Amino acid sequence: MPKTPTVKKIDLDTTIQTLGVAKIPSPLNYCRFIGQEETLELRLTEEEADLSMGSGLPMHFEKAGPRGKLYFDSSKVKCAIVTCGGLCPGINDVIRAIVMDAYHHYHVASVIGIRYGLQGFIPKYGHDIIELTPNNVSNFHVFGGTELGSSRGPQAPDEIVDALERMNVGVLFMIGGDGTMKAAANIVKEIRSRNSRISVIGIPKTIDNDINFVGKSFGFDTAVEKATEAIACAHVEAVGAYNGIGIVKLMGRESGFIAAQATLALKEVNFVLVPESPFTMEGPDGLLAQLEKRLRARHHAVIVVAEGAGQHLCEASGRTDASGNPVLCDISSLLISGIKDHFKNRNMEATVKFIDPSYIIRSVSANANDRVYCGFLGQNAVHAAMAGKTGMVVSRLQSRFVHVPLELVTMKRKKLNIEADYWRAVIESTGQESMTVHALPGSPCPIRKD
């Protein structure tokens, strides 16, 4: 008999760590309290969590929200907030929500802001801290970026915990992406090794929407909205020239969610290139051949490309940035030069217009939907911390706010499933034909757009 293939089991334990028994009555008197370990069952889709066991797997997550009994005497606890990694719309809204809820409803002793990411904990950098109060954060949401500043790169967990203990901090809120959540997990381990009582709560931040077990990250809606403005401009430029080609490069190192969503939002896109779907430039089914066909028929085209797309087409540098991410090759330069050479060799007139709105998109303030979302994240983070939860992030899954252990969030990056209905809809929207290096069984059929 043939051997049954061994399936690697993944630890899907959703239990949330606590600092101890919650015994102190909550000062909140206007709401329904959530049971200390109350859970809800969710069946995650392939887009919500990349699980090797497939979609539809039932999982029980601890519900977010205020608890009737607290671990901390909230009036005596000191909190700290740190923001790490790249900028993203909504960071200031989360900071504001945490401060407002902590002061007005839990009457905490103090909230401090750590300057310039994890560097702010390390004495050698000399960064001052900021006292955060309802008065000085009241207008934070008006501005993009982070009023606390940010930085990339790892810092020693023991030095960070040393700083927390020196400052008598009881709760640390960490706002950041995959790298920040990994750092948070290491800080939690260091705290536990010392038998300290410091709560660490993560608020997942990534403009790329690539954090596992997070349905949609804050700032993503704003990013897509701004991206569509750039795509609309590229379309105007393309239509304004004979055989005009508008190229827009969007964020997405390993995941093409922004490119895909913006493509669905604006139907002028004819080709979308994402990291999850390797493509070829040359050959009868390659991008250049399809682009030529498009220009001969319609005399204009719009291409949207995620920054991490097409990395297989260029030589890897082997270098990494301060956060440990591989340094990407410039796919836009490769596209532009390849397109110009192709049409020059065919004596075809073609005009290429390139737009890279990345830093504009990253640094704008959040739109209305993201502001509402950020408010819920900040409030639920405070509720979790006061109840003594730790080693977790606040996440929204299927419109429900839940607690997710750091171990699950950092298990892998979330990516587009190019065999799912969502990607099929993207391909239908553009009308592009398959350009994949190796066609996958069950991949969406190509649809031609006239």
For the stretch 8-33, pLDDT in tens is: 444 489 999 999 999 999 999 888 99
Rounded Cα gap, residues 224 and 252, in angstroms: 12
Beta-bridge mates of residue 326: 320
Verify that 358 and 371 share a domain, yes or no. Answer: no
pLDDT mean across residues, the chain: 91
Over residues 251-279, the pLDDT tens digits come to: 999 999 999 999 999 999 999 999 999 99
CATH number, domain at 262?
A: 3.40.50.460
My answer on whether 161 and 267 are in the same domain is: no
**In the predicted model, is pLDDT for residue 65 greater than 50?**
yes
Cβ atoms < 10 Å from Cβ of 346: 11
Q: Could you tell me if 138 and 268 lie in one domain?
A: no
Longest dimension (CA), the chain: 79
Find the Cα–Cα–Cα–Cα dihedral 255, 283, 420, 224, rounded to 10°: 40
In this predicted structure, the answer to whether residue 369 has a pLDDT above a threshold of 80 is yes
**Number of domains comprising the chain:** 2
**259 lies in the same domain as 187:** no
- As a whole number, mean pLDDT of residues 359-368 equals 96
Same-domain pairing of 187 and 300:
no
Tokens (6 digits) for 181 = 């959540």
175 and 230 both lie in a single domain? no
What is the residue range of 333's domain?
222-363+418-430
Q: What is the pLDDT of residues 102-140, one digit of tens each?
A: 999 999 999 999 999 999 999 999 999 999 999 999 999
User: Would you state the structure tokens that stand for residue 40, as one six-digit string?
Assistant: 């809800």
Q: Which amino acids are annotated catalytic? A: 208
Dihedral sign computed on CA atoms, order 208, 267, 300, 294 = positive
Q: Are residues 208 and 227 in the same domain?
A: no
The DSSP-derived string for 41-101 is EEE--TTT---TT-TT-EEEEEEPS-BSEESS-GGG-EEEEEE-SS--TTHHHHHHHHHHH
Q: How do 78-83 and 171-176 pair as beta strands?
A: parallel
Pairing mode of beta strands 24-25, 69-70: antiparallel
Query: Distances in Å between the alpha carbon of 181 and those of 199, 305, 331, 399?
Result: 14, 27, 28, 22
Share of the chain above pLDDT 90, in %: 82
Beta strand ranges found along 75-219 (DSSP E): 78-83, 110-114, 129-131, 171-176, 199-204
Which is nearest to 168 in space by CA: 253, 106, 108? 108
Q: Say if 450 falls within a structural domain.
A: no
Domain-located, residue 303: yes
Quote the pLDDT of residue 406. Answer: 97
